[in-house]
Amino acid sequence: LDENTIEALDQHVQTAVTEVVDALAGAGSASLSMAYSAAELVDVVIRGLKGGQHTSACAYVNWPYQGCDFFAQVTNFGPQGIEGVQKIDNLRPFEEKRIAESVEKVKEDVKKGVEYADSH
């Protein structure tokens, strides 16, 4: 894909939930999409845990990446649970910039989450 298409897709993904809600015109939400994604992830994890078959899916995991304790990465699952994550490589400059921005945002969010958990 060319750079303009990548940037347009990046923007589209960021506003996708709003587009779904707008399309439903108050008759629902994007909850079904989130539920489906959760079910798909659980299926991958369970198939990995059952053994014999290693599976992978994108998951938000406690696996350090660029100084961030938690990050969404393609994660490999097997009989022992998380067996590793796939390396993020071959990125274009725009993608490297967006990941760097994401890492900083995730660091802030993780810090807030840990502080909240510690205080409750």
Range of the domain at 88: 3-119
3-state secondary structure 24-62: HCCCCCCHHHHHHHHHHHHHHHHHHHCCCCCEEEEEEEC
Residue at 71: amino acid letter: F
pLDDT in tens, 8-62: 999 998 888 788 778 877 776 777 778 999 999 999 999 999 986 779 999 999 9
What CATH number did the domain enclosing 37 receive? 3.90.110.10
pTM: 0.76
Domain count, the chain: 1
- Contact between residue 47 and residue 55 where contact means Cβ atoms under 8 Å apart: yes
Q: Tens digit of pLDDT for each residue in 65-109? A: 999 999 999 999 999 999 999 999 999 999 999 999 999 999 999
Does 119 score more than 90 pLDDT?
yes
